[in-house]
Amino acid sequence: FGSSHLDSSLTPCPGNSVCWHFKAPPPRMSPMPRLATSAALAAGLASQLVAPATAGGLVRLTVQRFAAAQVKPEGRSESLAAAFGAGGLGAAASLHAASLSGEQDIALANQHDFVYFGDVEVGTPAQTFKVVFDTGSSNLWVASKPRGLQVAQRPYYRPRASHTYEATGTPFHIEYGSGKVSGAYCQDDVALGQLKLPNFTFAEVNDTKALKNFDTSKFDGVLGLGFPRLSQDGVPTVMGALVKSGQLDEPVFGFYLASGQPGQLVLGGVDPDHYTGDFHFVNVSRPAYWAVDLDKVRLGGFLNMSVTPVAIVDSGTSLLVGPERDVQVLATMMGATQSFQGFYMVDCNQTVPSIAFTLGGKEYVLEMADLVVEKADGWCVLGMQGSPMGMWILGDVFMRKYYVQFDWGRQRVGFAKAAPGPAAP
C-alpha cells in the first residue's frame, strides 16, 4: 500500500507505547500494486488467536502460524507475480497485545514474508479488523459490507452495530498501484491495544472491486503511518492523533521485520531487544512519504550506481524498487536473468555482489542472502524490481536487515542492525 499515488515529484495523494509483533511480511515486488495477495503462496497460511495470557503485567494474545502451501514449479512465475507484482500488498498476519511498564505491546504474525498486518478495534462494542500497517500512506480505512452481498466471506465493519458510529456523508476515494477503493468517511471509536481514539474520522469502504485480489486477501483495511500531507482530504492521521492526545511516551514508532520469525511494530518507542548498536539518523527530506536523501548506491566495487537522490522507506512495499535503468544495470552486473513476469533470477550457486545504499553518509549493505525472496529448482528470485517512478523504495527486503525508527516528532528516520531478540511466546 505504502506508496499510494507514488511519483517522482512526491506529490501527496489528494507514558505509553504500542507494539505489534508480526511474523515476517510478504514482499511486494511492485511499489505501485502493493495491494494484492498471492493465492498460491498464501493459501496454506492462516493465523489463530489463542486466549490471552498475563505475566508480570504483560498481556499477550498468542499467534499460531501454519505452513505455507507448496507451489508447483510450472506455476512459480504466476504465483510470484500474484504475490509481488500485479498486486504487491500481500496478505496475512495476526496480532497479540501486551502491556508492560507503561508500554502497550501488540504482536503480529506475517504471511510468508509478503505483508504485515495486525488488529485494530473499531466501534462500541468493538469490532476487530486486520489492517496493513503502511508507512507509504496516511489514511485509515476498513471494509464495510458491499450492497447486495448476501454471504460475507470476511469480517465487515457493521456501522449499525456500533452505538458510537456517526456518518458524515463525505465520499472517500483512494487509489493504489493495484487499484482503488471508495466509500465514505465516518466517525467512530478506534483502539490499538490500550490506545484509544474516540470519535476518530476514518473511511468505511464498500467498493473494493477495483482493488486487485482484495476478495482473496487476509486483510480488511489499511492503517497509514505516513505524514499528514499524504492524507486524503486532509483528515487526521492515526499517528498524528495519538501524538496530539499525549498517549505515547515519544512521537516515534519502530519496525522490526524478521524473515519467518516474529516481527514487531512499536508505537511510542522502539524495542532494544530487536536491534544492536546505535541508531544512525537521516532527516526526512520531504515530509509526506518517509523520504530521505540517497547519497549513492554501490554494487560490489562499483560506486554511484543510481540516477536518483531520493529513497523512500516503506513498510508497504515488499521488495527493493528502483529506477528501471538502475535496476537493469545492477541486475546485469549481478548476472541475473529477467523472467517474462519482470522478476530477476540468478543461479543459487552463483556468487552475487552485495548492494549498498549510502544514507546520511552511512552505508547499509544487503548481501545475496538478504535479497533472495524465493527459491525454485536451483534458481533464486531476487527481491528487487524496476519502476518508472524514478526513485528507490526501501521496502521490506531492506527493513528485514535493518530495524527502522520512524521519528515523527523530529521528522527523521533511524537505522540500526536488526537482531532476532527473544522469541515471541
Q: Tell me, yes or no, if 314 is annotated catalytic.
A: yes
Show Cβ contacts of residue 312 under 8 Å, excluding neighbours closer than 6 positions: 2, 3, 6, 136, 289, 290, 291, 292, 391, 392, 393, 394
- Residue 246 has a CB neighbour count (10 Å cut-off) of 9
Distances (CA, A) of 207 to 143, 173, 223: 8, 10, 17
CB 143 within 8 Å of CB 157: yes
The Cα–Cα gap between 350 and 201 comes to 52
CA nearest neighbour of 381 among 326, 422, 331, 423: 331
Q: With the C-alpha atoms ordered 145, 6, 304, 346, is the resulting torsion angle positive or negative?
A: positive
Q: How many CB atoms lie within 10 A of CB 382?
A: 25
- The C-alpha atoms of residue 125 and residue 162 are separated, in whole angstroms, by 6
Question: Is the four-CA dihedral 213, 28, 410, 13 of positive or negative sign?
Answer: negative
Rounded to an integer, what distance in angstroms lies between the CA atom of residue 307 and that of residue 309? 7
- From 188, 271, 295, 314, the catalytic residue: 314
CB 34 within 8 A of CB 177: yes
For the question of residue 105 being annotated catalytic, the response is: no
Q: Tell me phi and psi for residue 58, to 5 degrees.
A: -100, 125
Closest by Cα among 291, 287, 381, 303 to 338: 381
Query: From CA 231, how far away is CA 228, in angstroms rounded?
Result: 5
DSSP-assigned beta bridge partners for residue 372 = 382
| Residue among 105, 134, 188, 271 flagged as catalytic | 134
Which active-site residues does the annotation give? Answer: 134, 314
